[in-house]
Homo-oligomer: A and B are copies of this chain.
Amino acid sequence: MKKSMKKGLAILLLLLTGTLLFAEGQSESKDMSLNESAAQAKYVFLFIGDGMAMPQISAAEAYLSAKEGNAANQKLLNFSTFPAQGMTTTYAYDRFITGSAAAATAMATGQKTAIGVISMDPGKTESYKTLAEMAKEDGKKVGIISSVDLDHATPAAFYAHQPSRNNYYQIGVEAVSSDVDYFGGGRFRLGKTPEGEKNIHELMAEAGWTIAEDRDSINAIQAGTEKVYCSNHGFADDALPYDIDREADDVSLAEFTQKGIELLDNEDGFFMMVESGKIDWACHANDGASSIMDTLAFAESIETAIQFYNEHPEETLIVVTGDHETGGLTLGFAGTGYETDFANISSQTKSYEYFDKFVLTHYLEAGSSDLEGLMADIEKYFGLTELNDYEAELLEKAYIRTVAGDEAVSNATEDKLLYGGYTPLTMQLTHIQNNRSGMAWTSYKHTAVPVATFAVGAGEEMFHGYYDNTDIFTKIKAAMGM
């Protein structure tokens, strides 16, 4: 009898508790159907490290760890600790090794396209709608930020539709009338203006954009200002300088991102794409130190988003990914075997490009003709001293080749493998510098290894697993409830 009473009570409790449980479940699913956005990502950051795959991330982490005397990877980048993580395949419609245009199109529109095409179909007739355009239609503000030229393939794929990534002027023209509320980072290429046409800055001014080109002017722009274009550029071109070369006046990618948050923050939410474009450029040139420093600068720009996320954790989604690997970077070199020395990376003080433009060119122009006279600068900029015989031989060969130009090419195939079309001496210097640290490269182009994707916030759970770059679009779109 007692037992059956207990059983009855248990059933009653079950009924009551069951109802509560069920009610909870029901109210949750109700909330979701009634007011989808409440459970969805209102503020979305998509961070794209151009040329950044696991080797680039691990190299930066190894450097941080080694600086503190630890075995790597004991120091992780902020985004490496995000709760969701996946691997992402990158192949293009027509090539296994993708390019930035096809990869950005995949992430912006969910469609595979041909190499070089910007958010159009492989046949180059149909335009694909982008995440940024959808977000705008959904009432959100849109920001496009890049450390390289804003008409470069990766940013372009979010607001333009062109049969070729090289249509820089047309891409800029699309930018002027685009749905974008804030452009930040490198400049549109004014040098690509066709004869007789107004350049993109003139067109933007005419269309009412607020333009700022230095830190003070950028800082002076108030929240609430609409249609803002903030840019800055380095010594070499329209892109921001490599972070390793950045000086006090140069506005950082983190600052451009922070400004974007200030300008775009509104109750209807925003979609912001932030590209770190020079990780790719550094890796094309096999310059490991510059790649690492730009990866760390990328993490700093992500930090501004993390701070925003901390204030709006339920409504913010941050996704960090790469578009492809560049350079065939690995963390191990035949010459150093099982040993690495990532702390050695600190001994490089400027990028390959700075050395090329401000050191080597001047030295050669001054009529100097022996490598010996450059050794103090080689130590100053690459930290290279005590060259062994093999290193000395490689440098001498590269120097002769540099001074004599193509006449010194004894074997064109070997020349391509050794220097990849870059200044031979400078390439040899980055190779020796990297190899001593345990970093090595197999290419001067992109490679096909999948990239890593990390996510935190509303919808993060979708970013686990092994998926394709077109799924980045699908997942973000779903997270935004579009």
Interface residues of A (CB under 8 A from B): 14-15, 17-23, 25-26, 54-55, 58, 62, 65-66, 71-74, 76, 80-87, 89, 91-97, 99, 115, 325, 328-335, 337-340, 342, 388-390, 393, 411, 413-414, 416-417, 420, 438, 440-450, 452, 454, 464-466
Contact = CB atoms under 8 A, between A and B. Distances in A.
Contacts of A25: 21
B21 A333 contact: no
Nearest to A58: B449
A328 B335 contact: no
Given A21-B25, A80-B466, A445-B338, A86 B89 contact: no
A417 B337 CA distance: 10
Contact of A332 (B15, B65, B328, B438): B328
Going nearest first, the 7 A-B pairs with the smallest beta carbon separation are: A332-B447, A18-B22, A440-B442, A328-B330, A18-B18, A390-B413, A331-B448
B466 A464 contact: no
Contact of A450 (B58, B92, B389, B416): B58
A19 B325 CA distance: 53
A443 B333 contact: yes
Nearest to A329: B330
A442 B445 contact: no
A446 to B, nearest CB: 6
Contacts of A334: 328, 416-417, 420, 442-445
A464 B85 contact: yes
A49 to B, nearest CB: 15
Best-buried of A14, A76, A328, A416 by chain B (most CB within 10 Å): A328
A412 to B, nearest CB: 8
A448 B92 contact: no
Nearest to A22: B18
Contact of A73 (B22, B55, B388, B450): B450
A97 B390 CA distance: 24
B18 A416 contact: no
Contacts of A442: 328, 330, 332-334, 440-442
A97 B330 contact: no
Nearest to A55: B449
